[in-house]
Structure 1
């Protein structure tokens, strides 16, 4: 089963695609969509277009997105929520079910502790997928999200059957 993990961001939206067969995971691709344009609408459209191209190219059957981390900056949280909306909308438009995971759950799944930093996450992603080139911290986070989805029911026998039926 092919899974895409998406790390939402308004400037940089990370994505990572893995194939899952039983307990085995293999890297397919990863990258970062960079928003283009001066106003918010143009930046969101740019992210939508780029992520749509990624979905069309790699044709995942499952998607996972990091849940929004609420911080002290309300305006920043709202903008991140809009990028997260794009991250959920694009797979949904392609008929792909979308799982959502809290940042701490993703980190705990991949690193073993819920408060790991980005360097630790990237290191553990490389350990689980030796030899891969990661396009940056946002892509590493996206791969971690895909790995989390594979471990927490996203690649279960039932999910695989449903994905195959939809294909």
Structure 2
């Protein structure tokens, strides 16, 4: 069965989403966009995020959910709101029975661009190339797709390691005859 990955780039005003499928050794673009939660009361924005992510899950039937971890900002209020938006999206994934994977911004950039401190335009460029898109995705959607790509690469490496890991007792660090 093909793995379908929903990637989320959380934000209290704009939450990016991206959906890809692992088909053999290729990553295939299925869809992306932004959930515009607006600028109203926070609880209403969180509800908008939750409902929209739930709808995206119904539409694309992902098998896993990947989300960017919260980074610490100098503005504590912004960090708290970002964490709450992230939680609203994660609850939608959890309610759908999806396993949730979390990646730091640095891990995502490293996986997609090869440099953990890459700029947004570099992430957009690489997402466009990796997924063979006809145009550059909007920044929040590109970040969400990058999160999904990061999980796809991580998942592929984990699966490869399972099949190539040595089997047997190697004497706990000593050679045995």
**Residues 133, 4 of structure 1: alpha-carbon distance in 2 compared, 3 angstrom cutoff:** farther
Gap regions ≥5 residues in structure 1? 159-167
- Deviation digits for residues 49-89 of structure 1, max 9, x if unmatched? 11111110001000100000101111110000000101211
Aligned to 1:151: 153
Aligned to 1:163: none
Question: What SS does the aligned partner of 2:31 have?
Answer: strand
Aligned to 2:60: 58
Structure (1 or 2) with the larger CA radius of gyration? 2
After the TM superposition, which parts of structure 1 deviate over 3 Å for at least 4 consecutive aligned residues? 132-135, 154-158
After TM superposition, give the deviation of residue 113 of structure 1 in Å: 0.3
Query: 2:109–2:116: 8 Å Cα contact kept in structure 1?
Result: yes
Gap regions ≥5 residues in structure 2? 161-177
Aligned to 1:15: 17
Whole-angstrom distance in 2 between the partners of 1:154 and 1:74: 36
1:70 is matched with which residue: 46, 69, 72? 72
Normalised by the length of structure 2, the TM-score is 0.84
Greater length-normalized contact order (CA 8 Å, ≥ 6 residues apart) = 1
Normalised by the length of structure 1, the TM-score is 0.89
Q: How many residues align?
A: 158
Aligned to 1:46: 48
Aligned to 1:100: 102
RMSD: 1.7
**Residues 121, 6 of structure 1: alpha-carbon distance in 2 compared, 3 angstrom cutoff:** same
**Residues 61, 156 of structure 1: alpha-carbon distance in 2 compared, 3 angstrom cutoff:** farther
